[in-house]
Structure 1
Amino acid sequence: MLKIQEIRELIKLIDQASIDEFSYEHEGSKIKMKKHHNQTTVVSQSQPVEQPAQAVQPVSQPPVQAQPTPAAKVEETVSPVKVEDPSLQKIVSPMVGTFYAAPNPESGPFVKVGDKVGKDSVVCIVEAMKLFNEIEAEVSGEIVEILVENGQLVEYGQPMFLVKS
């Protein structure tokens, strides 16, 4: 069976790749991953596999035939318009994880459009591997736009906020 770290690395690779589905069978263990609009689902089973050699062959074919996900197409059409304005600075995600706009579900968001932020102002939380990381603005200015939604998965370097200096 694969170790947890190896599974995490596989999830990251599948998340970045243009394939929608991946499965792996080895010595009676089976792992299957599917993407659903920027979310990766992992299903793992430990059952005997009668013919693992035949099950592995189709796995190499889908990456060749895979199409870009609809979410990737949306990013390509939306992002360039917002980023081109030189007076706007981006606050980007320093890690892969889940974006949270507030410290807990009952509280209001850390920031909203129109709020002023300083370099050390906390603007959101990114959860990665059950650790909640407070993200600081690292720029001073006014929040012009929030580019991600609460609970959305964010990638390393993905813009989350636009700030006007």
Structure 2
Amino acid sequence: MLKIQEIREIIKLIDQSSIQKFSLESDGGKIKLEKNDGQAVTTVTETPQTPQAAPTPVQAPAPVAPAAVAAPAPTAAPEAPAAEVVTDETLHKITSPMVGTYYKASSPDAEAYVKKGDKVTAESIVCIVEAMKLFNEIESEVNGEIVEILVQDGQLVEYGQPLFLVREN
């Protein structure tokens, strides 16, 4: 069965997209999302393992205005010092393409994909963002040098949130 945090992430993704209906069956559970008049309605159903099990409806929060969705990113404490570095217009921001959890390495005992000062190419993998149990490798997109790492290992990241600053070659 999906955890409440996973359901919240799915709701955010659907809310930010143009999708009107969404259904997912996984691990003995079923989730249906549907947008009605600007408000997402979510129904989560567990597959009955005993005769008395019943569907549990969940009302999702009302959609948030895009300005409110983007606002939380700058309030994170680790990003505050990096905000001053962002003023350098020559730096390229590598951003998160999705909501998920940032990991600097492929496993806890593995070496980080990149460190501050490392040279990267457009195809270099710089990190992993986990979303709904899928591990997505994030590429640099540009050739250059990592100037700043803006997030901590294991931190929840939002769509479009800057992860790295790169000085392009």
TM over 0.5: yes
Q: 2:96 is matched with which residue?
A: 93
Q: Describe the SS at the equivalent of 2:85.
A: helix
**1:82 Cα offset (Å):** 2.5
Q: Describe the SS at the equivalent of 2:111.
A: coil
Matches within 5 A, 1:28-107: 74-75=75-76, 78=80, 80-107=83-110
5+ long unaligned stretches in structure 1: 15-45, 48-55, 64-70
Q: 1:157 is matched with which residue?
A: 160
Q: Give distance in 2, aligned partners of 1:6 and 1:144.
A: 35
Q: 2:11 is matched with which residue?
A: 10
Relative to 1, partners in 2 of residues 1:75 and 1:84: Cα closer, same or farther, differing over 3 Å? farther
5+ long unaligned stretches in structure 2: 16-52, 65-71
Q: Give distance in 2, aligned partners of 1:161 and 1:72.
A: 14
What is the number of equivalent residue pairs in this alignment? 121
Amino acid at match of 1:10: I
Q: Describe the SS at the equivalent of 1:10.
A: helix
Deviations 1:57-84 (A, max 9, x none): xx99xx9xxxxxxx65635983642322
RMSD: 4.0
Tell me which of 121, 126, 135 is aligned to 1:118: 121
Relative to 1, partners in 2 of residues 1:157 and 1:109: Cα closer, same or farther, differing over 3 Å? same
Tell me which of 132, 136, 141 is aligned to 2:139: 136
TM-score norm. by structure 1 comes to 0.57
Deviations 1:24-67 (A, max 9, x none): xxxxxxxxxxxxxxxxxxxxxx89xxxxxxxx9xx99xx9xxxx
Q: Find out whether 1:145 has 2:148 as its counterpart.
A: yes
Amino acid at match of 1:106: D
